Structure 1
């Protein structure tokens, strides 16, 4: 059985090393450690951990709660909060991020082990349910979507969020997920690019790369092998096999 990969986020160096030592002793694999919320967000993307141990009271601009909210927007990774003490207001904010557990410091190894195992089990069961539901309503397209005047519903945490076609800038493939990007938000869901392409329709959107679909009227500039979109500072690659289709779809004068 593969080892469980754990990301440790703790701003006290001694405590962080103690946690990492205990994790390794218990048979877990520590894929990284961070002392700030910003670094935690970065490592959550680059190391793809199975679970994150997150100190609530991180020093710096982002608390553990803030970092967890950002990570939850991008990834489906169970987060367990570490805390020595937190007032009622902090705990109330922490609840909103729907953590998979709390571990009080100083901790016992049995508490660490039990909480992680329960979080992993709960998350795996939830993912099974999500995959079944995704087939039905993670993205629900209306009958007008193919004319580019429709909308889709995207599952975000425990609710469905309505996105109008014109709000979507581009869609990006990410392993077993796709990420739908708007001007200021992104939604990560279980799906395939082929399924997204079908549900959004081909009038308003075009696939320009194996990993990217863009909305045609959001394209700002094209300079092969990349293009840029309005209001978004990002270069998106154009795959060689998609170049001719793109040339045929744009209003070239």
Structure 2
């Protein structure tokens, strides 16, 4: 089994060497150690590490946070920050780089290893979710003569007819597709659902809701009611005009 490749970016030579010794002893492969963000960025493509340990406060023109942001945009390699500061201001600044963890110096060997393993597991989960989302997008048939989509839920792909959908609800990083008989929760966005669903049949009425027009039972602003389920759905102010323009009013 190939060893996990780690790149160290730390401007204190003694600390960098200590980290390298700990990681080597634990079975990792340290592919490089650099004192500046600039040097790390230049070496990332060639060394192709699995994970990067990055000190936040570095010598040179770039901070560890800035270097991590550049690496994330170019290479999408998970970064764990090393820092002697755990104050709220430092953590807030570091969030912009979307790190996979923090280690506060000085740290114990088991803390370092545990943080790396958790970061690698989280990164793998994120990549798997991206692949699943891409697969779902590829499974969606977008030709106008098609009447359904495939939704990944409950570890399988489920065919859902557009005509069976009553409404879609946003739930953090997921959407919940409600039909007459089933509920499907899948990892995608409302924006993506708007792109997929036929615009002639569906309308977004709230930042958290898309409804099928012919499933609307009644409207009494600021709410509407979905037939059958009698689900009350709020109408967002910015979506009101679009909704009413799509109705056959008499």
User: TM-score band (shorter)?
Assistant: 0.5 to 0.7
CA RMSD of aligned residues (A): 2.7
| 1: CA distance, partners of 2:43 / 2:112 | 21
For residue 34 of structure 2, what is the aligned residue in structure 1?
Answer: 34
Q: Cα deviations across residues 98-131 of structure 1 (Å, max 9, x unaligned)?
A: 1111111111110011001111111111111111
> Does 1:118 pair with 2:122?
no
DSSP 3-state at the match of 1:40: helix
How does 1:219-234 map onto structure 2 within 5 Å?
none
1:98 maps to what in 2? Answer: 98
**Distance (Å, rounded) in 2 between the aligned partners of 1:71 and 1:132:** 24
Q: Which residue of 2 aligns with 1:82?
A: 82
Cα deviation code 1:154-187 (max 9, x no counterpart): xxxx99xxxxxxxxxxxxxxxxxxxxxxxxxxxx
Deviation at 1:46, TM superposition (A): 1.3
CA 1:3–1:92: 2 relative to 1, 3 Å: same
Listed as ranges, the gaps of 5+ residues in structure 2 are 144-187, 190-250
Q: Do the aligned residues in 1 keep the contact of 2:38 with 2:60 (CA within 8 Å)?
A: no
* 1:41 counterpart SS class: helix
Unaligned runs of 5+ in 1: 144-157, 160-253
Cα deviation 1:80-115 (Å, max 9, x = unaligned) = 000012543332110121111111111111001100
Correspondences of 1:1-253 after superposition (within 5 Å):
1-85=1-85, 87-136=87-136
Higher relative contact order (CA 8 A, sep 6+): 1
Q: Which deviations, in whole Å up to 9, do the C-alpha atoms of 1:28-70 show, x marking residues without a partner?
A: 0001111101111112211111110000001110000000000
Q: The residue matched to 2:99 in structure 1 has which SS?
A: coil
Inter-partner Cα distance in structure 2 for 1:14 and 1:73: 30
Q: State how far apart, in whole Å, the 2-side matches of 1:135 and 1:42 are.
A: 33
Q: Distance in 1 between matches of 2:57 and 2:137?
A: 37
Distance in 1 between residues matched to 2:48 and 2:96, nearest whole Å: 23
Residue aligned with 1:17, SS: helix
89-98 vs 113-122, greater mean Cα deviation:
89-98
Determine which structure has more spread, i.e. the larger CA radius of gyration: 2
